[in-house]
């Protein structure tokens, strides 16, 4: 059973967690600084973490900054999400080869993933996104077997948010900033003067087992109070808010709202929002052959509803205009996703706002549509 109550682990002992994970054969994926951004990659110890680094985010704006302390997790979510480990950006589905007489001599499927991953640093909004994507990929009658293999035996070490970014709005989506489930072990980083420690909670039997291998101690009431204060601080710092009351029907009622044309005048159809989104799952499949026509491979790659070709069928593209493509993305994320999968497809991480080159803001667009409808009713 999960360990009751809270525990503490001193900062200088955190490498014990890496050692415990490595002993179990896990490859640790966590945050690190690369190419002027905080991204997720394989790391082997605390030295690879973004020590003393934070980020500055706004619409179309992302910069790293030095902190005044040595916090390990004092940043907000970056351009990477855990989606790349649930649904890799590119996968070879199978390869085939034939002889000169045309007979098939070889047909090989991509082998299942071999690595056992431990995700370190997942935030509450990201845990919700992982659960949503699991329902998409693994639910229903046609679950993706490769996706199931990727999710088997994944261990999650969550980090509770102690600050929020200017594009965060997870509080209004009910997905954060504090994770309550979906993790094996959760850490809250606390820096008080010369003290630097983590308040830990186990969320599974495996988490409790890991905790037993660390140099932990029971958390005092003051230490638990400090962790709760960090959580409250993050909730109060949310830079954005999305009113989700009646959001599904609101968008259905406003399918022809002129706001769609206004946002299309700014949208570049670049697809950045879908690439950084932790739940967008559009993919395309392409067959590639060699010049001799003896070898063929089938690849699956991330795609986007913002590309014209994605909706291309016999006779042309279904969504030929930027207006139609943006409307499809936002309406699917906040409305039809609910019909398909039982929840919104948005977790309020704010990535789509930060990484949009022109700073289009999904919370602003939803608010504008709501206000236009209210104005229309007031004038009726």
* Predicted local distance difference test score (pLDDT) of residue 3: 38
Q: How many domains does the chain have?
A: 2
Low-confidence ranges of the chain (pLDDT < 50): 1-4
Q: Is 292 helix (H, G, I), strand (E, B) or coil?
A: coil
User: In this structure, are 214 and 291 located in the same domain?
Assistant: no
User: In this structure, are 161 and 88 located in the same domain?
Assistant: yes
* Predicted local distance difference test score (pLDDT) of residue 344: 96
Residues 310-358 pLDDT 10s: 888 888 888 999 999 999 999 999 999 999 999 999 999 999 999 999 9
Considering the domain boundaries, does residue 1 fall inside one? no
User: In this structure, are 154 and 84 located in the same domain?
Assistant: yes
Can you tell me the distance from the alpha carbon of 340 to that of 333, in angstroms, rounded to the nearest whole number? Answer: 11
Which residues form the domain of 266?
247-379
Considering the domain boundaries, does residue 357 fall inside one? yes
User: In this structure, are 84 and 197 located in the same domain?
Assistant: yes
- How many C-beta atoms surround the C-beta of residue 218 within 10 A? 10
CB of 169 within 8 A of CB of 240? yes
Can you tell me the distance from the alpha carbon of 274 to that of 267, in angstroms, rounded to the nearest whole number? Answer: 13
CB of 269 within 8 A of CB of 197? no
Residue ending a domain, choose from 216, 236, 256: 236
Structure tokens at 17: 């967690």
Q: Is 125 helix (H, G, I), strand (E, B) or coil?
A: helix
User: In this structure, are 153 and 204 located in the same domain?
Assistant: yes
User: In this structure, are 328 and 362 located in the same domain?
Assistant: yes
Structure tokens at 319: 């969504």
CB of 163 within 8 A of CB of 237? yes
Shortest CA distance to 177 belongs to which of 130, 123, 128? Answer: 123
Can you tell me the distance from the alpha carbon of 258 to that of 327, in angstroms, rounded to the nearest whole number? Answer: 11
User: In this structure, are 84 and 190 located in the same domain?
Assistant: yes
């Amino acid at each position: 059973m999960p360990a009751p109550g809270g525990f503490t682990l001193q900062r200088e002992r955190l490498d014990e967690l890496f050692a415990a994970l490595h002993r179990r054969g896990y490859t640790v994926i966590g945050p690190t600084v690369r190419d002027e951004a905080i991204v997720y990659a394989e790391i082997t110890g605390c030295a690879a973490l973004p020590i003393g680094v934070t980020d500055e985010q706004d619409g179309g704006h992302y910069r790293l900054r030095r902190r005044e302390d040595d916090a390990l997790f004092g940043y907000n979510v970056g351009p990477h999400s855990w989606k790349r480990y649930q649904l890799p950006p590119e996968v070879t589905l199978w390869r085939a080869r034939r002889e000169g007489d045309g007979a098939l001599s070889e047909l090989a499927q991509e082998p299942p993933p071999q690595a056992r991953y431990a995700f370190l640093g997942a935030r509450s909004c990201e845990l919700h996104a992982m659960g949503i994507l699991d329902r998409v990929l693994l639910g229903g009658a046609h679950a993706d077997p490769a996706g199931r293999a990727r999710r088997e035996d994944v261990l999650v070490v969550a980090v509770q948010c102690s600050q929020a970014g200017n594009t965060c709005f997870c509080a209004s989506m009910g997905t954060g900033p504090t994770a309550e489930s979906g993790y094996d072990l959760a850490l809250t980083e606390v820096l008080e003067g010369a003290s630097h420690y983590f308040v830990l909670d186990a969320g599974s039997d495996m988490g409790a087992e890991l905790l037993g291998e660390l140099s932990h101690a029971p958390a005092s009431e003051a230490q638990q109070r400090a962790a709760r204060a960090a959580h409250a601080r993050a909730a109060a710092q949310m830079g954005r808010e999305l009113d989700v009351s009646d959001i599904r029907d609101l968008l259905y009622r406003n399918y022809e709202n002129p706001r769609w044309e206004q946002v299309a005048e700014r949208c570049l159809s670049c697809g950045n929002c879908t690439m950084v989104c932790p739940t967008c799952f559009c993919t395309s499949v392409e067959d590639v052959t060699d010049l001799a026509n003896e070898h063929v491979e089938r690849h699956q790659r991330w795609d986007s509803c913002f590309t014209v070709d994605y909706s291309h069928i016999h006779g042309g593209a279904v969504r030929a205009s930027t207006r139609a493509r943006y409307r499809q993305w936002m309406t699917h994320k906040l409305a039809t996703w609910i019909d398909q999968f039982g929840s919104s497809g948005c977790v309020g991480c704010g990535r789509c706002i930060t990484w949009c080159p022109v700073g289009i803001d999904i919370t602003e667009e939803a608010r504008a549509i709501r206000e236009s409808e209210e104005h229309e009713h007031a004038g009726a």
